[in-house]
Chain A
Amino acid sequence: MSEAGMAGALGLNGLIALFVSAILFSIGVIGVLLRRNAIIVFMCVELMLNAANLSLVAFSRMHGIEGQIFVFFVMAVAAAEAAVGLAIIIAIFRHYEVVDLDRFRLLKW
């Protein structure tokens, strides 16, 4: 029932969208953990946000329009976050002349 019921309400495409969103999120996690370049790590965070948006849109077919409204707010917060984050990266680059995350160890041991 569970698989059939889910496919019935979401459609096959909705189910595919959920799995694609899970895979995209995992790829974003790999990118965050595997790269040292702060800008690429930041881009992977944007990819994870986009994956979350995809799952919200897929669920909005099941539960109504609120999912899409939530996506709207996620995008607004992501835009604010991108602006502030890139400003921080520029400010750090002025001090260290690199964007290598392993070199920023002022707050580490």
Chain B
Amino acid sequence: MIQDFLFQAFAASAILGAVIMVTRRNPVSAVIFLVGVFFATSGMFLMLDAHYIAAINVILYGGAIMVLFLFVLMLLNLGHADWRDLRGPVGGLIGGSISIAFLGVLTRLFVGGTEARPVVEIAGSALREAAAEQGVVGVVARPLFTEYTIVLEVTGVLLLVSIVGTILLARRERT
């Protein structure tokens, strides 16, 4: 099936892009590869019937946040490679072992979590039917504005606070 092949291609390119991104010494190429990772995960969201999330992921992460990172890199003139950036072999050993421990715990969790509880079979077909009925945005928006209204408002306040805090932090003090 072409869809399965595409999904696996997206998965492989996400992992490959992440590995390349972590090992690049030049911050600008790290940003570019991270954008690639976000595009690949957006493709995976699309195949997992999360169309709205896929669009938001490209627009918000791949677009807005990564442009912000690139903007800060250029503002501070940090776009060159630095040989001191990567830690030495001791740091590599510690970092690698902690991350492998994380990988083991997460894999155990994902496989073991469904062993303990019976899996509810509502799956992708129900999501697909709801999307066909209410539209791909409506299926996310309807619970957002009915059940989770207060959470949405609190998130709005959080964004406002972050805007004010950013201006306060980045402002040059005049004495």
Contacts and interface: CB of A to CB of B under 8 A. Distances in A.
Question: Which interface class (under 10, 10 to 19, 20 to 34, 35 or more) fits B?
Answer: 35 or more
Contacts of B19: 27
Nearest to A28: B18
Interface in B1-34: 4, 7-8, 11, 14-15, 18-19, 21-22, 27, 30-31, 34
A44 B99 CA distance: 13
A51 to B, nearest CB: 8
Contacts of A54: 41, 44-45
A80 B19 CA distance: 26
Question: Which interface class (under 10, 10 to 19, 20 to 34, 35 or more) fits A?
Answer: 35 or more
Contacts of A17: 11, 44, 48
Interface string A10-48: 111110111111111111111111111101101110110
A12 B50 CA distance: 16
Contacts of A47: 18, 21, 34, 37
B19 to A, nearest CB: 6
Given A47-B18, A60-B50, A75-B56, A91 B96 contact: no
Contacts, number: 238
Contacts of B169: 84, 87-88, 90-91
B27 A2 contact: no
A77 B161 CA distance: 11
Contact of B65 (A2, A14, A46, A64): A46
Given A17-B48, A36-B84, A68-B50, A30 B95 contact: yes
A76 to B, nearest CB: 5
B84 A61 contact: no
B60 A79 contact: yes
Contacts of A91: 169-170
Contact of B49 (A29, A61, A71, A80): A61
The 4 closest A-B pairs by CB, nearest first: A33-B95, A80-B162, A22-B106, A87-B169
Given A36-B85, A62-B120, 4 more contacts: A17-B48, A39-B73, A43-B30, A77-B158
